[in-house]
Structure 1
Amino acid sequence: MKINKNIIKELNDYLDEFNLTEIEYTEKDLKVKVSKSKGIGSTPVITNTSKQEIERTENKSSEISGTKITSPIIGTAYLAPEPGGKKFAEKGRKIKKGDTVMIVEAMKTMNHVPCPMDGTIKEICVEDGQPVEFGQTIAILD
């Protein structure tokens, strides 16, 4: 598959123009995400994910039975309060209603996602630092 380099250049320009760290572009079965860190000398990271890959990831979480915990907002999921810190929830760990499952950061605001009921974490469906959508399954509770 050939990607139009002008799209990548334009997305990278938007990162600088609007002081963003990440931007995503989707058209038919093509999805391009451009992101970069805010450090000195940082370089953009370009990811190309087909819709089939996204659907496979989503179908994996739908195959597991249990209570699904979904993201309340669009943002970036963090499994621990700080890099290298102890995770809020891990597979197999018991968790109580109201305990934080993970944090979803949006617009520099850290939003704690509470557990809806007592149970055991059956599956964590996102990686640390992964972008999440509203309503996306982020964990499954047994």
Structure 2
Amino acid sequence: MKIDKSIIKELSDYLDEFNLTEIEITEKDTKIKVSKNNVSSNNQPVTASVSPAIKNEIVNSESNINSGTEITSPIIGTAYHAPEPGAKKFVEVGKKIKKGDTIMIVEAMKTMNHVPSTADGIVKEICVEDGHPVEFGQTIIILE
């Protein structure tokens, strides 16, 4: 795994700019946490770490990526697995889907956006929980 040092530098700058002691960023399956010790001097050491549990997830997800097709979110918003609460989900693990089938809804600014499948396949993994936020380009489903 290769981590872009400029991201750590940028997060370190945010610590000073906003007078924070800790900041964390999660992108796909990578989680970077930067924190500084509360030392009374101006030369405050900054540390960066990647959680061991996340390292294992990164290794596992890299092997999943090689054996599946990722479908990513086209927009930032809140992901919903069904058209309304209590309704049947669009997809479930093991379900065969075709290109163009709605796999999820991403709500952004009170607009419900249907996300179509970009490929045919069988749903291997649903990577986002119902009602949770998603980022642009975040993997939401993996197909076999």
Seen in structure 2, the aligned counterparts of structure 1 residues 52 and 130 have a Cα distance that, compared at 3 Å, is: farther
TM-aligned CA deviation for residue 74 of structure 1: 0.6
TM-aligned CA deviation for residue 104 of structure 1: 0.6
Compute the TM-score of the two structures, normalised by the length of structure 2.
Answer: 0.59
Report how many aligned residue pairs link the two structures.
98
1:78 aligns with 2:80: yes
Alignment of 1:81-100 (within 5 A): 81-100=83-102
TM-aligned CA deviation for residue 77 of structure 1: 0.4
Alignment-mate amino acid for residue 27 of structure 1: I
**1:27 paired residue number:** 23
TM-aligned CA deviation for residue 63 of structure 1: 3.6
Seen in structure 2, the aligned counterparts of structure 1 residues 98 and 140 have a Cα distance that, compared at 3 Å, is: same
Segments of structure 2 that go 5 or more residues without pairing to the other structure are 1-21, 25-32, 35-48
- 3-state DSSP of counterpart to 2:123: strand
Seen in structure 2, the aligned counterparts of structure 1 residues 84 and 52 have a Cα distance that, compared at 3 Å, is: farther
Segments of structure 1 that go 5 or more residues without pairing to the other structure are 1-25, 31-49
Alignment of 1:1-142 (within 5 A): 27-28=23-24, 29=33, 52=51, 55=54, 59=58, 61-64=61-64, 65-142=67-144
Check conservation: 1:61, 1:137, Cα contact below 8 A.
Answer: no
State the identity as a percent: 67
Seen in structure 2, the aligned counterparts of structure 1 residues 96 and 108 have a Cα distance that, compared at 3 Å, is: same
Alignment-mate amino acid for residue 128 of structure 1: D
Seen in structure 2, the aligned counterparts of structure 1 residues 86 and 51 have a Cα distance that, compared at 3 Å, is: farther
Seen in structure 2, the aligned counterparts of structure 1 residues 130 and 85 have a Cα distance that, compared at 3 Å, is: same
Kindly name which structure, 1 or 2, has the bigger radius of gyration based on alpha carbons: 2
CA RMSD of aligned residues (A): 2.6
The whole-number CA distance in structure 2 between the counterparts of 1:53 and 1:85 is 37
The whole-number CA distance in structure 2 between the counterparts of 1:104 and 1:53 is 31
TM-aligned CA deviation for residue 62 of structure 1: 3.8
Seen in structure 2, the aligned counterparts of structure 1 residues 91 and 137 have a Cα distance that, compared at 3 Å, is: same
